[in-house]
Amino acid sequence: MAIPLSADADPDPTSQIAWPATRNRQRTASTTPLDNGCRSGETTVSYQSVAGGGKRPHVEPKRVRFSTWNLFTLSASMAGAQVAWTIELGYGTPFLLSLGISEQVTSLVWLAGPISGLVAQPLIGAISDSSTSKYRRRYWICLSTAALVAAILGLAYCVSMAALLVDLYGGGFGDWDPERDKQVTNVAIAIAVVAFYALDFALNALQASLRNLLLDITPPEQLNAGNAWHSRMTQAGNIVGYGFGFLPLAKIPIFSFLGGDQFRKFCIISMAILVITVWMTCWFHEEEAYVNQKGDRCASDLFTRIFSPVAHTHRQNKLTDILENIYNAITDLPQPIRKVCLVQLCAFMGWFPFLFYSTTYVGQVMAYQLDGEPDIEHATRIGELAMLLYSIVAVIAGVVLPRLTLRDSRLLSQDGDDDASRTERLRLMLKHRQEEAVQRGKKFKVPRMPLLLRDIWVGAMLLFSVLMFSTFWISTVNQAAVMISAVGVCWGVACWVPFAIVMEDVNESRAASVRRPGRHSLDESGPLVQPQSSRGENIEGDASGEASVGITQPVAGGTILGIHNLAIVTPQFIIALVASAIFHVVDETGSPVAIPDPNPSLGDGLGGHTTYYGKNGVAWVLRFGGLCALVGALVAQSVPATKSEREMMESVEILSTLRDEEEA
């Protein structure tokens, strides 16, 4: 059965809008099978240099276009991953505070995010780029999911596990012994911190692998629609995660069999959603064994992948080679992507405190409003409600705002266009539109240039800064909830614009490499480590290597996304240290002072001190983040227009000139 074409194949790389199409539950592969057992498909041809100065065609598989069902199943795992992340975002800080960790220390615990992002995403991207297996992305997806399951279980049962370990090793004399309780608390804190670090590493590896899988198997003309689906599923995961976090799970009978409190039940539910969505992606989509530029097709069975000469050759790609190529990729990034990364450095110094401390901020505002320590579980659930509203707003923004950037595909360059043919095509289009306008009795108007992605990004960061500075005047929970909800507009843009710009720049580089003779084409799924010697000699059967000298190998798409992620996680090191210093100055100068608690039973494990009352450090951290976002908005104004935006501006200018010539 043929796979129906999807209307999600938006020809405009900047719109990012996925439109519904017919469903088809057929499993997809990146190419169609060959008779010899390895798969390839219809091909487009680029050329690489070979001995003797000739050119040998380097084939690239033409991938089958995806239906809406294909795009949904491909992106479903992003929703599951985001649900798992809401465990950390929504409950992480309150949970650690309830165990007795201070705010100052929690900011250091959240260094797990940038450390894991700094290591996991680019490394996993580079290693899987260099793999030739047909399971190279799904292998890491499954491995990361298994690690996530272990980490989530560790968080859900950390107190029970701590009590078991203390009892096994004879800590204290019994449940009544304060020394035993102290040891249980310390062990539980250690387990929770390790579990959060494992969760961050596994989550970064999973997200990197999912984005790389998108690059590998999605048809080039649908990459933007696929990225839009990733963004939408991410927001859907936020809604599901924060929605379950807000529900009183501990009081719902259907979840009583899980035992434990709200946090444990939420962890188990999130884990189940994660496993189901990852299964959908891995089951409904297949990869293809990488076909190297020499034309070798690599077997997909496990024995051959381990013991074949090809596998032995690829095992020679040492870790140092991969790290060296990551460094080279960073230094050789295209200028537009480099500027996007610079903006992300500033922007995520603002996003980091918001994402991790919003629920805590709601609790502190509630304590200020009540003039006393609120119920910790109730305060956390209200914070989850605010984040749920924020997620809903982000989804709406992600659907509405891209419409402001829609381009008329007829104004974009067509295949084979040169200046003369493009001008003639636009002249005919102008004449046709003028005739249509006359028939309708209206005056013809030249299309207006839609908003640039850069402009929307700048506006979103300015709005974020204003909202963060509004914490100076927020004094009620309702006001805090409105502020957090409004940030959803900014998050919808943050999940869309930078990736749209990067994706289009990758496609532009790929197209330029295919057109330019004597250069390898950019293959999003190609390996980062190429079998070339340090002298530039081609060791793929070219004895002389003369034709290979000077060839520049474009960066693999998976590696570019990993480098982009570096720009996101690197500033989090700085903001984590700054947040720790702010908490120390604002909330923890001197020894903590016990404050009367209207419900002392809630203070168990906190050493008799409150979690929210009398603290204002989170508000100051949010304000600092707003200042960083303001700097990011200033830097973002230097991000160049994308290729389609430049083409659109040129076409509008040509149409205006042609109209003026006719009127003259």
Q: Supply φ then ψ for residue 475, to 5 degrees.
A: -135, -5
- The secondary structure of residue 517, as a DSSP letter, is T
Q: What is the mean pLDDT of residues 133-155?
A: 88
Q: What is the mean pLDDT of residues 92-103?
A: 86
Instruction: Indicate the burial class of 37 (C-beta count within 10 angstroms; 0-12, 13-18, 19 or more).
Output: exposed
Give the amino acid at 628: C
Pick the closest to residue 280 from 328, 341, 210 (CA basis): 210
- Residue 471 CA, distance from chain mean position: 28
Instruction: Cite the beta strand spans of 261-347 per DSSP E.
Output: 285-286
What's the pLDDT tens digit per position in 485-512? 999 999 989 988 898 888 777 777 666 6
Asked if residue 42 has pLDDT above 50, the reply is: no
* Residues sharing a CB contact under 8 Å with residue 427, sequence separation 6 or more, in sequence order: 658
Share of the chain above pLDDT 90, in %: 26
Q: Beta 28-29 vs 285-286: how paired, if at all?
A: parallel
State the Cα–Cα distance between residues 18 and 227, nearest whole angstrom: 9
> What mean pLDDT value characterizes the chain?
74
Residue 141: C-alpha distances to residues 250, 402, 529 (Å): 31, 30, 21
Position with higher pLDDT, 48 vs 369: 369
Concatenated DSSP letters for 542-601?
Answer: -SS-GGGTT---PPPHHHHHHHHHHHHHHHHHHHHHHHHHHHHHHT-SSS------SSGG
What's the pLDDT tens digit per position in 153-164? 999 999 999 989
What's the pLDDT tens digit per position in 522-546? 333 333 333 333 333 333 333 333 3
Give the amino acid at 584: H
Domain boundaries, given as residue ranges, for the chain? 67-286+335-408+447-528+552-663
Concatenated DSSP letters for 116-140?
Answer: HHHHHHHHHHHHHHH---TTHHHHH
Q: Supply φ then ψ for residue 43, to 5 degrees.
A: -125, 150
What's the pLDDT tens digit per position in 186-205? 999 999 999 999 999 999 88
Concatenated DSSP letters for 428-447?
Answer: HHHHHHHHHHHHTT----PP
pLDDT of residue 614: 80
| The token pair that represents 538 in the structure block | 């081609």
Q: Do residues 644 and 410 touch, judged by C-beta distance below 8 A? A: no
Give the least confident one: 22-36, 128-142, 211-225.
22-36
* Residue 163, phi-psi category: left (phi > 0), alpha (psi -120 to 50), beta (remainder): alpha
* Residues sharing a CB contact under 8 Å with residue 370, sequence separation 6 or more, in sequence order: none
Classify domain 67-286+335-408+447-528+552-663 by CATH number.
Answer: 1.20.1250.20
What's the pLDDT tens digit per position in 335-378? 888 899 999 999 999 998 998 899 999 999 999 999 888 888 88
Q: What is the mean pLDDT of residues 545-549?
A: 35
Give the least confident one: 239-253, 274-288, 401-415, 470-484.
401-415
